[in-house]
Amino acid sequence: MENHKVIFMHIPKTAGRTLRSILEKSYSKDEVIRTYSTKQIERFQSLSKNEKDQIKLIIGHNYFGMHEHLDGPFSYITMLRDPIERVLSLYYFILREPGTPMYKKYNGKGLDYFLDEEPQTINWQTRFVSGGELDLSKAKDHLKKYFSVVGISERFDESLLLIEKELGIKNLNYKSFNVTPNRPRKEEISPQTLKRIEENVTLDLELYKYALELFEEKSNELKLK
């Protein structure tokens, strides 16, 4: 991994901002590039070969495929989260962000309306990992072939240890970001609404199950247990 460029696929609401803060501390400023916005992506794509050669870490809300703009070896890392928890976290996070377009769209409308209208509630993790499609088979194949670490949000500290061993990072001190305080627990959501969420994330549930298997394999391989 020493000469590999690391692509951190930051899927929203999977503890990615916390991980981003840790990763960015482990590289110099000129070795990191963020590719969250269209402008940032265009800047990255316009870099000369020499400029790209200096980059060691690419971070963004980008679908699988950023490696197509690179020369040389690369490796992806990401975090996946229990799909139902991710949808609930997204909803209640939006409701504590007054003034944003999504707050204006969903505030006061209810969770069921959110599930009807918001694309991010429909197998969003599968879409990211497959490269913009809702293709579970392709998403699993990508995780297996191209990701050096598939972290699990619910097992963040263990995920960090895996990343540390793979990337040689030695900074376990972190502060959690974007944590929604006093959010209703899954058990407090009505069974009917939970069923609707499950129907929205059937592919994500399968992908998450597969990611857990890869996580255990990597843990055993690196002898974390």
What distance in Å separates the CA atoms of residue 74 and residue 67, rounded to the nearest whole number? 7
Mind listing the pLDDT tens digit for each residue in 96-118?
A: 999 999 999 999 999 999 999 99
Residue closest to 198 by CA, chosen among 105, 94, 98, 122: 122
Question: And the tokens for 54?
Answer: 């200096």
DSSP SS3 for 201: coil
pTM beyond 0.75: yes
Distant-in-sequence, close-in-space partners of 85: CB < 8 Å, separation ≥ 6: 153, 154, 186
Quote the CA–CA distance of 201 and 118 in Å, as a whole number: 13
Unique residue bearing structure tokens 């679908």: 63
Instruction: Check if CATH label 3.40.640.10 holds for domain 5-221.
Output: no
pLDDT band at 38 (very low <50, low <70, confident <90, very high): very high
d(C-alpha 97, C-alpha 117), whole Å: 18
In the prediction, which pLDDT does 167 show?
85
pLDDT at 149 over 60: yes
